[in-house]
Amino acid sequence: MLRVLLVNDTDKPIAGLEQALREAGYEVLPHVAAATGLLKAVHERQPDVVIVDVESPSRDTLEQLAMLHRHAPRPVVMFSADGDESLIRDAVGAGVAAYVVDGLAPARLAPILRVAMARFQQEVQVRQRLEELELRLGERALIDRAKGLLMERSGMSEAEAYAALRQQAMNHGLKLVDVARRIVARSEPTG
């Protein structure tokens, strides 16, 4: 059962929304009256998804959502009466997975949440892939730098420097990048 945290930044009652979520099979956590307590509430209650109901997302709300996206990412669905294009862009930039204008029809709730969760999961996978690629690129640059140092010091060709790095890695049971890191660290002045 997925746990849902509601943030109601409007004067509208949310009992109907809570009931619709329960009927759709979600566990509804105690709601938050304003976005200012969002990050703390997420850390305390550990929801699977966050639903924000606002008339129009304020700067404070968007900042809270951006902090949530950075520190405790969750799928966020925002229901708003404001369809302003720049606000929608800002909300999506703050981590909102689904921005729904004009209405919170209970029948639409479950499919909207499924889409938001799928989009969020896809974003998580893209982010993980990007981090992996950045790590590999950093490792590749470190290996290239170590090769350059070996070429400069020992007059080796690039192929010879790479073979020397590989041989050291095999001899010491290390990864190639770890050997490269040691060579680069030894070449840097201590300070």
Residues above pLDDT 90, as percent of the chain: 60
At residue 114, the pLDDT reads: 86
Mean pLDDT, residues 103-107? 69
Q: Grade residue 34 by pLDDT with cuts at 50, 70 and 90.
A: confident
The pLDDT tens digits of the residues spanning 48-85 come to 999 988 888 889 889 999 999 999 999 999 988 888 99
The pLDDT tens digits of the residues spanning 156-182 come to 999 999 999 999 999 999 999 999 999
Alpha helix stretches (DSSP H) within the chain: 15-23, 38-45, 59-71, 85-93, 106-154, 158-172, 176-187
The pLDDT tens digits of the residues spanning 8-23 come to 877 676 777 788 888 8
CB atoms within 10 A of CB 78: 29
At residue 18, the pLDDT reads: 85
Among 42, 108, 36, which residue's Cα sits nearest to residue 75? 42
Q: Which residue ranges form the domains of the chain, and what is each CATH number? A: 3-104 (3.40.50.2300), 130-187 (1.10.10.10)
At residue 180, the pLDDT reads: 96
At residue 55, the pLDDT reads: 84
